[in-house]
Amino acid sequence: MAAAEGQGLGKYVAVYACLLVVTAAQFIIGYQHIGGGQLVTRMLTFAAIETGLVVLFWMNLSTEKKNFIQFVIIFTVFVLLCMNYVWTDSFRLLLFRATGYGPS
């Protein structure tokens, strides 16, 4: 039993080290003088990598059945798409409030 715990602990230490490296890379990229589009793309890429590592290893999603993992991915994409729909409406209302023009 101690061997199994030691092997699992090593996996988590490796994932933690990878997360530290990714976080350091984000910190370095944040202080570079690059354009907004490139900065957003790079940061979102690293954020997706970090999220994948955390969800798979620290939330133990990698040990679940494939069907459950597919459900979680589809549900997450659905929620993000719905949030995107609400955000666009919020920006429309903010524009109406800022400019004084509204729907007739």
47-71: per-residue pLDDT in tens?
999 988 888 888 888 888 999 989 9
Buried b (16+ CB within 10 A) or exposed e, 32-53: eeeeeeeeeebeeebeeeeeee
Q: State whether 26 and 41 are in the same domain.
A: yes
Quote the number of domains for the chain: 2
What's the confidence (pLDDT) of residue 50?
A: 92
Q: State whether 50 and 2 are in the same domain.
A: yes
Q: Supply φ then ψ for residue 65, to 5 degrees.
A: -70, 155
Q: State whether 4 and 43 are in the same domain.
A: yes
pTM of the model: 0.62
Q: State whether 94 and 51 are in the same domain.
A: no
Q: State whether 92 and 74 are in the same domain.
A: yes
What domain range includes position 11? 1-63
